[in-house]
Amino acid sequence: MDKVDLTQINQGETAVVVDIRAGYGLSRRLESMGIKPGVMITKVSSQLMRGPITVQVGNSRIAIGFGMAKKIIVNI
């Protein structure tokens, strides 16, 4: 399995979160949205030019910024 950040997976691809490379505040914020190590996450859509990325975690769809997505490390 390859470890990459969330911005590098293709639209429609599902991966497992393995690490959040962020400080305490952002890690807690992502965790409150259900994004934490061990969770399956699907990239639903992304915008051009470093725009927001929409992901599905469980039954929820969440839009997160490109910078946030770069800090979410997944196994594909």
In whole angstroms, what is the distance from residue 67 CA to residue 1 CA?
A: 23
Q: What is the mean pLDDT of residues 5-15?
A: 96
Mean pLDDT of 45-62: 93
Question: What pLDDT does 49 receive?
Answer: 82
Average pLDDT score, the chain: 95
pLDDT computed for residue 71 by the predictor: 98
Whether the pLDDT of residue 1 is over 80: the answer is no
Model pLDDT for residues 24-50, shown as the tens digit of each residue: 999 999 999 999 999 999 999 988 888
75's CB contacts (< 8 A; 6+ apart) are: 1, 2, 3, 15, 16, 18
Q: What is the pLDDT of residue 34?
A: 97
Q: What is the pTM of this model?
A: 0.93
Going along the chain from its start, the domains and CATH numbers come out as: 3-75 (2.30.30.90)
Q: Are the C-beta atoms of residues 68 and 26 closer than 8 Å to each other? A: yes
